[in-house]
């Protein structure tokens, strides 16, 4: 896109060619060297950015050198030191002021000034006398070179600083908008959790009583039948086991809906993570999972409820084991000091090499009753998110380096 724009001839380029054409047709009118050199200056001005892009390391220096050389040719063709075209040296001077810092600009301006004054060496001394008035005029011309260089350089430097400030402001606004979007997403998730939590609590209480009656009836029926009717006894056993499963689901509903009562104490994080890893391994002992621990040595103790936090990481590790159980993989658990929104704490990254979670599902993954498993209630990550929120922390799902899932949990140290 940029190259396409550079290849087009803009109205500024046309104006530049028009002004150089005006210089070409002025006296001396028939001076092909002058006219060809001015044409070369115009073409180089138009193609200058492409020339610099072709030589990125030294292109700017060569651009200034070529302009000094072309300006010297024009001055030589139009009268040397007395040429009215000496102002052509402003082109390399202004170019240097735009490309370099103040010190380098003064150096390049000195070179341009020396190139102009060098014409004194080629004048016939027997027919030329440098009077005091002429020396003053020459000094004024050279001082104007330096004055123009400094003014342009200061303007360009201020413009660069202003552009840098605008870029930094844009980056700050972008980061602020990103945090605002995250906060809004967290707020929506919290509202959904609160509403569904109330619904779950009411539903769980209503279900427990009839489930208790069904289980009691099935156990009584099983005792009465005994071995007299094996089929009925087996069916009564199925009823009892399914009731137990429903009771387990109801208990999870209540865990989700019940307000948490945290008992915070300063806890070392590494042993807590190790216990959660062991619990996940015990649930999937047959899974071929390689566990990599990357704990920073300077992890501060965190004021957390150890039981609830262990539940958080056990759930995350178990999900990772389950995702990689079929083909095996690697589970990486990293913990390091971090800061978020001006708060110090520890960030724990749980990254697996499983199939990952599609981007369109990542915002819903913490919603209650949302699950991608065939047999699942969809409350595990909702409870995890609730526990992290109660600790005033933050949990987010990002794509892992190996294409799997990566959960990042931030727990504040204060």
pTM: 0.49
> Both 329 and 251 in a single domain?
no
Proportion of the chain above pLDDT 70, given as a percent? 86
pLDDT at residue 30 in the model? 64
Tell me if 188 is assigned to some domain.
Answer: yes
In terms of Cα–Cα distance, which of 365, 378, 409, 372 is closest to 185? 365
> Both 278 and 342 in a single domain?
yes
> Both 233 and 317 in a single domain?
no
Q: Whose structure tokens read 């060809």?
A: 36
Instruction: Give the pLDDT band (50/70/90) at residue 144.
Output: very high
pLDDT at residue 6 in the model? 47
d(CA 95, CA 76): 21
d(CA 218, CA 138): 115
**Largest interatomic CA distance in the chain:** 141
> Both 78 and 114 in a single domain?
yes
Structural domain boundaries, residue 285: 265-412
Return all residues near 265 (Cβ < 8 A) that are at least 6 apart: 303, 304, 305, 306
In terms of Cα–Cα distance, which of 70, 91, 16 is closest to 46? 16
295 neighbors 332 (Cβ within 8 angstroms): no
Question: What is the tens place of the pLDDT at every residue in 356-387?
Answer: 888 777 777 877 767 766 666 667 888 888 88
> Both 387 and 273 in a single domain?
yes
As for how many domains the chain has, the answer is 3
Instruction: Give the pLDDT band (50/70/90) at residue 3.
Output: very low
Please state, as a whole number, how many other Cβ atoms lie within 10 Å of the Cβ of residue 127: 6
Query: Can you tell me the mean pLDDT for 231-254?
Result: 74
């Amino acid at each position: 896109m940029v190259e396409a724009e550079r290849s087009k001839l803009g109205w500024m380029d046309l104006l530049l060619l028009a002004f150089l054409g005006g210089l070409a047709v002025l006296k001396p009118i028939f001076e092909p060297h002058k006219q060809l050199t001015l044409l070369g200056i115009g073409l180089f001005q138009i193609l200058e950015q492409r020339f610099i892009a072709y030589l990125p390391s030294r292109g700017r220096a060569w651009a200034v050198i070529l302009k000094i050389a072309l300006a010297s040719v024009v001055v030589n063709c139009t009268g040397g030191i007395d040429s009215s075209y000496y102002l052509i040296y402003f082109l390399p001077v202004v170019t240097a002021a735009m490309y370099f810092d103040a010190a380098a600009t003064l150096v390049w301006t000195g070179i341009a000034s020396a190139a102009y004054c060098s014409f004194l060496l080629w004048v016939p001394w027997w027919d030329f006398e440098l009077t005091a008035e002429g020396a003053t005029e020459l000094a004024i011309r050279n001082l104007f070179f330096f004055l123009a260089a400094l003014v342009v350089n200061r303007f360009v430097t201020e413009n660069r600083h202003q552009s840098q400030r605008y870029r930094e402001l844009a980056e700050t606004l972008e980061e602020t908008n990103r945090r605002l979007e995250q906060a809004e997403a967290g707020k929506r998730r919290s509202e959904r959790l609160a509403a569904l939590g109330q619904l779950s609590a009411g539903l769980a209480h209503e279900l427990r009583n009839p489930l208790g009656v069904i289980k009691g009836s099935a156990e009584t029926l099983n005792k009465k039948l005994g071995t007299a009717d094996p089929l009925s006894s087996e069916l009564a056993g199925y009823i009892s086991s399914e009731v137990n499963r429903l009771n387990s689901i109801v208990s999870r509903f209540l865990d989700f809906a019940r307000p948490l009562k945290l008992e915070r104490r300063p806890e070392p994080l590494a042993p807590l993570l190790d216990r959660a890893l062991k619990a996940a391994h015990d649930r999937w002992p047959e899974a071929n999972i390689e566990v990599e621990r990357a704990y920073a040595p300077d992890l501060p103790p965190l004021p957390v409820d150890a039981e609830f936090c262990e539940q958080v990481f056990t759930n995350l590790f178990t999900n990772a084991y389950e995702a990689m159980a079929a083909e095996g993989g690697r589970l990486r658990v990293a913990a390091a000091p971090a800061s978020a929104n001006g708060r110090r704490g520890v960030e724990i990254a749980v990254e697996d090499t499983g199939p990952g979670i599609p981007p369109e599902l990542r915002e819903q993954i913490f919603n209650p009753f949302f699950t991608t498993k065939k047999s699942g209630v969809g409350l595990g990550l909702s409870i995890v998110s609730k526990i992290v929120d109660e600790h005033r922390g933050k949990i987010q799902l990002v794509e892992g380096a190996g294409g799997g899932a990566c959960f990042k949990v931030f727990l504040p140290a204060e």
